[in-house]
Amino acid sequence: MNHPAHVPTTPKEQPNVRSTDLLNNNTRMLGSSPIRDLLEKSFDPGIISFAGGNPAAEFFDVEGMSRSFQAVMDRYGRRAMQYSSTDGEPEMRAAAASRTAEMGVPTDPDQVLITTGSQQGIGLLGQTLINHGDVVLVENPTFVSALLAFSLQGARFKTIHSDENGAVPESLEEAIRRWKPKAVYLIPTFQNPTGSTLTQERRTRIADILAEANVWLIEDDPYSDIRFTNEKHIPISADPRLNTRSFLLNSLSKVLAPGIRIGWIRSPKDVLPYLSRVKQASTLQSSTIDQLAAAHYLQNNDLPSRLAPVKAEYMNRRDHLMKGLMAALPAGTDITRPKGGLFIWARLPAGFNASVMLESALLAGTMFIPGAPFYVEEADQRTMRFSYSSNPVGQAELGLTRLANAFAEPPLLVQ
């Protein structure tokens, strides 16, 4: 018998099930990212935000990028507008391989999978490597969107102790012995959120440990080109013993523009076809025209010299913000001095809770990110992350005045 489509269903026929109850188990368990939710607030033009990790938009090379798009359209417009390979355009793979080689990690273009931002790379690695219940070792705190991507695969997180010099090798060794992890996720250079950098000595020690263990290394490195000193940091993945066990993620987001969404994974050659199939399942390919334009830009512009004035201004902003934070935050606050990247990490004195202070800061018209959401265990409620990249000094000054007002009468909260 045919029923007309509009016949109302009775509760008996269709019990009151929420549509979200019908999502798959992994998705249903995911909370929204507290940081993404907070960043929504930073779009309010009335707020001076130190929250997001945005590069300074006033330094974007709009003319140079327009020239590259135009050149690509003039030279091969039809190709640029057509479907293309999942692995990436040959020009972009070659450019990515040479950037990775310049970092000290010899790389062939056929070891490179182009991704739509390195966040897609993290997601693909999660999908390709992690079985439900597998342990992933992470620094505590670490990058929240990586936690989100691995959570989606049902990863369990265990932590490696880290300090101002990055992950502690002995802690990694102990965690590998104890938890038998599937993968280790590290951000060795100018870490998000703490800004800390793993020393070269520790990198060597960690490579020694990983070379002996049957564990994947996922090394995430979007910030190493935003370096304020001459000290070069060679990725852990440069160690040839890790060639078959490490993935190095990189991106143009922080050095060219995040809106173009170009990143890449340097992968063991035999694993790359699997990553490529997983990518194909979700997105077929990254944008053809964006890859061609980015590759053209890299071939025709000297990125390091373009970055030099940007880094000089970031240092200026870092110093200004550090000085301002010392004045605005209560006496006894610890404030880091990062040697690169985009973030200052601060820790309030005992009795303060950064999430509570954020409420006061928002009322005063400014914001930062409380550190707690970056932790997978034992969240330190006194920590906070400030980005110095996106506010010119004059605007940061106003934000700091507002921050000082927020702390003038702080709602104390004993932890």
Place of tokens 């990198």: 203
x/- track of binding to ligand PLP for residues 8-47 (CB under 6 A): ----------------------------------------
x/- track of binding to ligand PLP for residues 142-181 (CB under 6 A): -x--------------------------------------
Say which residues have a Cβ less than 8 Å from residue 228's Cβ, sequence separation at least 6. Answer: 311, 314, 315, 318, 339, 340
Q: Does 219 bind ligand PLP (CB under 6 A)?
A: no
CB of 115 to ligand PLP, least distance (A): 8
CB of 25 to ligand PLP, least distance (A): 26
Q: Tokens for 323? A: 């000085």
Which residue number, 126 or 324, has a Cβ lying nearer to ligand PLP?
126
CA-based Rg of the chain, rounded to a whole angstrom? 23
Which residue number, 224 or 360, has a Cβ lying nearer to ligand PLP?
224
Distance of alpha carbon 89 from alpha carbon 97, whole angstroms: 12
Greatest Cα pair distance in the chain: 79
Distance of alpha carbon 18 from alpha carbon 369, whole angstroms: 32
Task: Tell which one of 55, 141, 169, 222 touches ligand PLP (CB under 6 A).
Answer: 222
Question: Where does this chain touch ligand PLP (CB under 6 A) — which range of 72-80, 111-119, 264-272, 295-303?
Answer: 111-119
Q: Does 258 bind ligand PLP (CB under 6 A)?
A: yes
x/- track of binding to ligand PLP for residues 292-311 (CB under 6 A): --------------------
Best CA proximity match to 99, nearest among 235, 213, 3, 8: 235
Q: Does 117 bind ligand PLP (CB under 6 A)?
A: yes
Q: 38 to each of 33, 42, 282, 343, 377, how far by Cα in Å? A: 9, 7, 27, 17, 20
Distance of alpha carbon 276 from alpha carbon 83, whole angstroms: 15
SS3 at position 22? helix
Best CA proximity match to 307, nearest among 53, 61, 102: 61
Contact 115, 85 (CB under 8 A): no
Which residue number, 88 or 117, has a Cβ lying nearer to ligand PLP?
117
Task: Tell which one of 263, 340, 365, 371 touches ligand PLP (CB under 6 A).
Answer: 263
Question: Where does this chain touch ligand PLP (CB under 6 A) — which range of 92-100, 112-120, 278-286, 298-306?
Answer: 112-120
Q: Does 251 bind ligand PLP (CB under 6 A)?
A: yes
Q: Does 123 bind ligand PLP (CB under 6 A)?
A: no
- What residue number has its CB nearest to ligand PLP? 117
Instruction: Indicate the DSSP class of residue 33.
Output: P
x/- track of binding to ligand PLP for residues 180-199 (CB under 6 A): -------x----x-------
Find out whether the peptide bond into 141 is cis, omega within 30 degrees of 0.
yes
Please give the distance of CA 87 from its chain centroid, rounded to a whole number: 22
Q: Does 224 bind ligand PLP (CB under 6 A)?
A: no
Segment 36 to 95, residues that bind ligand PLP, using CB under 6 A: 53
Site of interaction with ligand PLP (CB under 6 A): 53, 117-119, 143, 187, 192, 220, 222, 251, 253, 258, 263
